[in-house]
Amino acid sequence: MENEYIVKLLETRQVTHDVKQFHFEKPRGYSFVPGQATDMTINKPGWKDKKNPFTFTGYNDDPFLQFTIKRYPDHHGVTDQLHQLKPGETVIVHDVWGAIEYRGTGVFLAGGAGITPFLAIFRQLYRENKARGNTLYFSNKTAGDVIEHQELLDILGVGANFILSNDNTAGYLHTRIDKAFLQSQITDFKQPFYICGPDQMVKDLADTLQQLGASPEAVVFEK
């Protein structure tokens, strides 16, 4: 039987035009590994059967649970409801799960809100002075969509690369993360690779990396 925990919203912070950071109460004894997630439901009538997965973006030893969540208003779903929550209102979180876990210095490939498991990993590595040497390729549609841009630069330095598919903003790469791009950027396909983003992106990149010589065991993503 899966555990459920009713937790109160403590505070929020606007991160981008459609992304908020949330701090919720943390249940006693609740713990996770950076990169892991939980299922969340809104604690309101009509919403308790609608579970969505969200990744923790804070530290395991924080006295609260932190999430960084993109709003999809067109869906009229859980994320839209979450963005309307006020401090003091509650959600239900469930047990921890997830296969995205740091396995050593490597290349991180993220699309949009797929950066969230990597935020927790990078923050923990930065705290331990182990972040540098990792490389991030973070793809978004526009510059205004980039989540925690400055923090990622501070953590990774020259290892942080930002890619835009719809904009020609100066200072960004303007391309797609595909086979040709990976071949132009990466010389060592034996290192660990971490992928998170839209399902099709994850599938395509996992297949492409193996074509380029990455071993299936070295490609980390949520299966």
1 has a pLDDT exceeding 90: no
Name the class of domain 107-220: alpha beta
* Backbone dihedral region for residue 171 (phi beyond 0: left; psi -120 to 50: alpha; all else: beta): left
The pLDDT, as a whole number, for residue 80 is 94
Residue limits of CATH 2.40.30.10 in the chain? 4-96
The pLDDT, as a whole number, for residue 133 is 96
Count of beta carbons in the 10 Å neighbourhood of residue 98: 17
Say yes or no: domain 4-96 is CATH 2.40.30.10.
yes
Provide the pLDDT confidence category of residue 2 given band limits of 50, 70 and 90: confident
d(CA 63, CA 109): 30
> Model-level pTM?
0.96
- The residues, ordered by sequence, that sit 6+ positions from 28 with a Cβ below 8 Å of its Cβ are none
Note the pLDDT tens digit of each residue in 105-150. Answer: 999 999 999 999 999 999 999 999 999 999 999 999 999 999 999 9
The pLDDT, as a whole number, for residue 76 is 81
- Average pLDDT (167-192) is 94
The pLDDT, as a whole number, for residue 25 is 98
Say if residues 90 and 211 touch (Cβ distance below 8 Å): no
Four-point Cα dihedral 143, 145, 147, 149, nearest 10: 0
> Alpha-carbon torsion 202, 208, 214, 215, what sign?
positive
Note the pLDDT tens digit of each residue in 25-81. Answer: 999 999 999 999 999 999 999 998 999 999 999 999 999 999 999 999 887 899 999
The pLDDT, as a whole number, for residue 142 is 95
Strand bridging mode 37-42 / 90-97: antiparallel
Note the pLDDT tens digit of each residue in 86-112. Answer: 999 999 999 999 999 999 999 999 999
168 has a pLDDT exceeding 90: no
Phi and psi dihedrals of 157, rounded to 5? 60, -130
The pLDDT, as a whole number, for residue 137 is 98
d(CA 79, CA 217): 33
Say if residues 133 and 110 touch (Cβ distance below 8 Å): no
Phi and psi dihedrals of 115, rounded to 5? -75, -15
The pLDDT, as a whole number, for residue 171 is 87
